Amino acid sequence: MQAKTQAPTECAGIADQLQRAFYGSAWHGPAITEILEDVDALTAAAKPIPNVHSIWELLLHVTVWDGAALTRLAGSKCQPTGDANFPPATRPTEGAWRKAVSDAKRTHDKLVRIVSGLSDERLRDRVPGKRYNFYHMLHGIAQHELYHAGQMAILKKAVVR
């Protein structure tokens, strides 16, 4: 008789999708960190398309929303607006860029750890201050990261040096 394998939890599946959207092995194509592998500070800060956020600003924005998800999962309301939603990039030095990437990874890794440890029942709980539940929010976070990964990929190609 073969041993039965336990099906993964819904939370483990969501954590996996968050991980793939950010680090790779995603179905859609390159994930955020794969796109950023050879991006330097000047490329990250460039605005090759008028009235469009830079790669750097998009990465900061993704980090904001991973953090917002963590705040909400901890039981508090969180709705970043203005510069809190799309923080401006700092002066484009390599050190500042590496710090932005490192901060994004650290925040994302924490989110993945927290989500993977949730019970599936928690997904049905309503997000503080919202009309939707954590299931909806966490899938939205993965979709959000994929959306901005696509923008980053286009911006990276648009930078002419």
pLDDT attached to residue 7: 57
Q: Is residue 102 part of a domain?
A: yes
How far is 26 from 18, CA to CA, in rounded Å?
9
Sign of CA dihedral 58, 62, 63, 65: positive
The CATH number linked to 97 is: 1.20.120.450
Q: Is residue 149 part of a domain?
A: yes
Consecutive sets of 10 residues in the chain, 161 residues long: mean pLDDT of each? Answer: 67 97 91 97 96 97 98 98 96 97 98 97 98 98 97 94 64
Question: Three-class SS of residue 161?
Answer: coil
pLDDT attached to residue 115: 98
Question: Three-class SS of residue 75?
Answer: coil
List, in sequence order, every beta strand (DSSP E) within 81-130. Answer: none
How far is 63 from 75, CA to CA, in rounded Å?
19
Residue 71: which domain range? 15-158
pLDDT attached to residue 20: 97
Q: Is residue 4 part of a domain?
A: no
The structure's pTM equals: 0.93
